[in-house]
Amino acid sequence: MFALDILQAALFAAALILLTPPLGLYMALVLEGRWRFLAPVETAIYRLCGIRELREMSWRQYTGALIAFNVIGLAVLLAILMGQGFLPLNPQNLPGMKFFLALNTAISFVTNTNWQAYSGEAALSYFSQMAGLTVQNFVSPAVGVAVMLGLIRGFVRRTGTTVGNLWADLVRSVLYILLPLAILFAIVLAGQGVVQNLSGYVTATTVEGAQQAIPMGPAASQIAIKQLGTNGGGFFGVNSAHPFENPTPLTNFLELLAIFLIPASLTYTFGIMVGDRRQGWALFGAMFILFLAGFTASWWAESQPNPITHVPINMEGKEQRFGVMNSVLWSTVTTDASNGSVNSMHDSLSPMAGMVAMLNIKLGEVIYGGVGAGMYGMLMYVLLTVFIAGLMVGRTPEYLGKKIEAREVRLAVIALFVPSGLILVAAAIASSIPAGLSSLANAGPHGLSEILYAFASALGNNGSAFAGLTVDTPFYNLMLGAGMLVGRFIVIIPALMIAGSMVRKTAAPPSPGTFPTNTPLFAVLLVSVILIVSALFFLPALTLGPISEHMVMLQGRTF
């Protein structure tokens, strides 16, 4: 049993490491327009949209276009969600979403968070799922890739002041990467039992004679991109725990892999773009260390029986076909990446495994992280690490030959620290007022964990939840909606500003006096900075949440 679990975890890691170079190379080729085998389609899209794909943009223009794209995307999605009652493909005749919930949902999908304050099968028409959510499932990771590309260009370009063309980056991300992978994946999922149809819900007469409504819908096509695009918003309420979303151990393995696949490969793409693959592997390595540490800790914690109920195996909130290992592997992976889909209920995780999930998010979604977002988030930590370490070797810190100065430090700390600060402020507000406390499903320290997790998830653009918390209330819809927006753009805008200032700097050639950022030492250092700067910051709150819960659990106390 244990041996099989180890084997599966090792297979997952091996598949990830093996797939990273080929996919990374492919992405480097297509994203920079060096391999355009779909040129006719690509060009047709440019002409239809009025895109002048060769026009280079400054960071301001790039950011402006990106904001325009998100504003329009948000407005269109909001309209679809609220107006689904009047739109086609609504066999269950579901009414339009209420404003607060629709707003929260629209923000959630546009920001690649995919926080769900609703249950898909009970609240959304097929049209909303397809033309609304699936579209954002494709374009929100594409936005992440575009921001990452802009930032990388800031580092690698030696002349000029521009960072690329946003529209071309978006179109290429969708057309060459997300869409082909999603098509392949959707077919495999449908073959394993994930529903893919436009029929109305089926009412079955059960063996014992009761009536049971069985939901239907175009799920496979959405789940494929939900995993690949680190979106995480389930077609059904219980997400990938649902047998129709994740019917077999094989789909579970592939869906897990799909979460990490693109973010991990982007480290390799990064290595190619900067002209030194070891730069990419160093980041991959740092991410892998954090992933492995989190997974090991979670698995260990989850393998300890609950001393209160004395049930030997912690199957509460988990599915029999997956078991404990596959559930904690998922809870680690989905919070490392800003995916947020779940195949077990995080609210029912042991206190320490729940804390690891929460901490993964609070580190800023950089352990592979969201598609594109993980890379640019990690690069913010890299700047910080290079700054501190660079001073220690006695030189003005530089990364990839470009100096890190006051402006970059300021922007990087804004991107890294503002979300962290806001998580605590928002959680402090919610834990002090009735509107926040009345939504709790669990009392005692676990209730505080639910609140902390919710705001971490929103500001980290993760989307998973300690789902017991009732979040479809005006207070939480608004607070979390605002959190998701801030969490997304407080990183994107500084990242692009850094791209803008970096691209203008002359690059210094490397010398033995520059400290290398492509070594295991750097990866370890990066991990240390992430843990010391971010994890320590949350320690007081975590002490009163999950750590207290763990301690009272050992005392046998319930709430």
Site for other proteins in 318-377 (CB under 8 A): 318-323, 326-327, 342-345, 347-351, 354
> Least distance from C-beta 537 to other proteins, angstroms?
5
- Which listed range, 248-256, 265-273, 471-479, 495-503, lies at the site for other proteins (CB under 8 A)? 248-256
Q: Is 184 in the site for other proteins (CB under 8 A)?
A: no
Say whether residue 55 binds other proteins (CB under 8 A): no
d(CA 95, CA 106): 16
Q: How far apart are CA 314 and CA 350, in angstroms?
A: 8
Q: Quote the least distance from Cβ 113 to other proteins, whole Å.
A: 19
Site for other proteins in 475-504 (CB under 8 A): none
Binding mask 509-548 for other proteins (x = CB under 8 A): x-xxxxxx--x-x---x--x---xx--xxxxxx-xxx-xx
> Applying CB under 8 A, does 449 fall inside the site for other proteins?
yes
Rounded Cα distance between 386 and 517, Å, is 8
Helix axes 445-459, 406-430, angle to 10 degrees: 140
Q: Is 72 an interacting residue with respect to other proteins (CB under 8 A)? A: yes
Q: Which is nearer to other proteins, 410 or 478 (CB)?
A: 410
Gap between the Cα atoms of 220 and 60, Å rounded: 38
Which is nearer to other proteins, 268 or 318 (by Cβ)? 318
- C-alpha span between 240 and 331 (Å, rounded): 11
**What's the min distance (Å) between Cβ of 66 and other proteins?**
9
Q: What is residue 399's three-state secondary structure?
A: strand
Q: What is the nearest approach in angstroms of other proteins to the Cβ of residue 160? A: 16
Would you tell me how many other CB atoms lie within 10 Å of the CB of residue 52? 9
**Which of the residues 8 through 47 are near other proteins (CB under 8 A)?**
8, 11, 45
Q: Amino acid letter at 143?
A: V
Q: Which is nearer to other proteins, 216 or 356 (CB)?
A: 216
Q: How is residue 480 annotated by DSSP?
A: H
Residue with tokens 């592979």: 368
**Nearest CA among 91, 133, 131, 88 for reference residue 110:** 133
DSSP label at residue 212 = E
Q: How far is the CB of 338 from other proteins (least distance, A)?
A: 20
Measured from the CB atom, the residue of 409 and 435 that comes closer to other proteins is 409
- Calpha distance 30→178 (Å, rounded): 12
Query: Residue 374's closest CA among 199, 528, 492?
Result: 492
Which CB atom, from 292 or from 414, has the smaller least distance to other proteins? 414
Report how far residue 176's alpha carbon sits from residue 138's, in angstroms, rounded to the nearest whole number.
12
- Give the whole-angstrom CA distance, residue 409 versus residue 82: 42
In the shown chain, the binding pattern of residues 282 to 321 toward other proteins, with x for contact by CB under 8 A and - for none, equals: ------------------------x-xx-xxxxxxxxxxx
Using CB under 8 A, which of 37, 122, 160, 438 touches other proteins? 122
Secondary structure in 3-state letters for 7-55:
HHHHHHHHHHHHHHHHHHHHHHHHHCCCCCCCHHHHHHHHHHHCCCCCC
Q: Which of 106, 117, 152, 384 binds other proteins (CB under 8 A)?
A: 384
Token duo for residue 77? 């999605």
Q: What DSSP element (H or E) covers 250?
A: helix 249-273
Nearest to other proteins of 269, 314 (CB atom):
314
With contacts defined by CB under 8 A, name the span among 262-270, 285-293, 462-470, 483-491 that binds other proteins.
462-470
Q: Which stretch binds other proteins (CB under 8 A): 26-34, 147-155, 231-239, 365-373?
A: 231-239
Two tokens, residue 474: 């005006």
Among 369, 447, 487, 500, binds other proteins (CB under 8 A): 447
* Min dist. Cβ of residue 55 to other proteins (A): 11
Q: For residue 380, give every residue at least 6 positions away whose Cβ sits within 8 Å of its Cβ, in sequence order, or none.
A: 364, 412, 415, 416, 491, 494, 495
**Strand segments (E) across 282-420:** 398-399, 402-403
Near other proteins in 391-420, by CB under 8 A: 391-397, 401, 404-406, 408-410, 413-414, 417, 420
The nearest distance, CB 205 to other proteins, in angstroms, is 6
Segment (H or E) for 203: strand 202-205
H or E, element range at 214: strand 211-214
Contact characters 132-161, other proteins, x per CB under 8 A:
x-xx-xxx----------------------
For other proteins, the closer CB: 156 or 429: 429
Beta strand 402-403 with 211-214: parallel, antiparallel or unpaired?
Answer: unpaired
Measured from the CB atom, is 39 or 311 closer to other proteins?
Answer: 311
CA distances from 99 to 38, 39, 82, 465 (A): 40, 41, 7, 22
Nearer to other proteins, 131 or 292 (CB): 131
Query: How many residues make contact with other proteins (CB under 8 A)?
Result: 188
Give the binding range for other proteins (CB under 8 A) out of 146-154, 250-258, 261-269, 485-493: 250-258
Three-point CA angle 463, 376, 257, nearest 5°: 55
Angle formed at CA 242 by CA 238 and CA 247, multiple of 5 degrees: 155
- Selected range binding other proteins among 166-174, 262-270, 361-369, 477-485, rule: CB under 8 A: 166-174
Q: Which is nearer to other proteins, 104 or 136 (CB)?
A: 136
Q: Which is nearer to other proteins, 21 or 237 (CB)?
A: 237
> Contact between 231 and other proteins (CB under 8 A)?
no
Q: C-beta of 387: minimal distance to other proteins in Å?
A: 7
Beta bridge partners of 164: 57
Among the listed ranges 95-103, 126-134, 269-277, 367-375, the one in contact with other proteins (CB under 8 A) is 126-134
Match 């700054």 to its residue by tokens: 387
